[in-house]
Amino acid sequence: MGTFNVNILFDNWDRYMEGFINTIQVSIIALIGSFILGAIVAVCRIAPLRPLNWIGTIYVEFIRNIPLLIVVFFFYLGLPSLGIRLDGFTSGTLGLTVYTASFIAEAIRAGIQSVPQGQAEAARATGLSYLQTMLFVIFPQAIRIVLPAIGNQFINLVKNSSILAVVAGMDLMYYADLINSDTFLPLTVYTFVALFYLVLTIPLSFAVLYMERRFNTAS
């Protein structure tokens, strides 16, 4: 069982690649979704309307303090009791999106609050509405400030996508479990899985570092 067999990769290339492609797909969808949702929640948390503040705060504090698995199970096992049935891929993607958005929201909120208040006052003085001020003046500056934190959350999301294996989400980890059940060579099977994940996370890490340096130079 402890033997490392390189042929495992070639013999199961199709399954590895199908899981790898599915992992890329779920990561991209959840990256976009969590950023959009996180930005909305962040704006709610600092909006001049108290009900929006409450909604944003409750969302962030609730989601951030429960396990990701519970969030995924809500969509996969909880919604069927309401007559809504989702497959593992969809449930896992939604769970990742909702969970990651709570962390991104806090990062963006911190970035917004770090932008000098004078920026917003000057924008409002020129006739921009609150939403226009946030969208065109404050938000771009906030993103530049918190880019490393957001980038780290994106990297975590890619790694957390392995949660789909628990709900038969057809991701890389799911197929790795199938391969391992056929070969009984966990050292080999999961070493290759780790390498596939590195193919995704290392370029993303360098991209975040590059953008951080570029924005710092521009400022």
Domain annotation covers residue 130: yes
Is this prediction's pTM over 0.85?
Answer: yes
Secondary structure class of 113 (helix, strand, coil): helix
| Domain containing residue 139 | 7-218
Instruction: Report the pLDDT averaged over residues 23-34.
Output: 96
User: The tokens of 213 are what?
Assistant: 């340096």
What is the per-residue pLDDT across 188-200, written as a single tens digit (0 to 9) for each? 999 999 999 999 9
Q: In whole angstroms, how far apart are CA 190 and each of 26, 104, 195, 197?
A: 20, 30, 9, 10
Which tokens belong to 208? 């975040």
Higher pLDDT, 119 or 171: 171
List pLDDT tens digits, range 102-152. 999 999 999 999 888 888 888 888 888 888 888 888 888 888 888 888 888
How many structural domains are present in the chain? 1
1 within some domain: no
Residue 2 maps to a domain: no
60 within some domain: yes
Instruction: Say if 81 falls within a structural domain.
Output: yes
Q: What's the pLDDT score for residue 132?
A: 87
pLDDT of residue 136: 87
Mean pLDDT score of the chain, rounded to an integer?
92
- Residue 219: pLDDT band (50, 70, 90) is low
Confidence (pLDDT) at 119: 85
Does 56 have pLDDT greater than 60?
Answer: yes
Mean pLDDT, residues 69-77: 97
Closest by CA position to 175, among listed 71, 21, 6: 21
Position 142 in a domain: yes
Any idea what the CATH number is for the domain that residue 181 is in? 1.10.3720.10
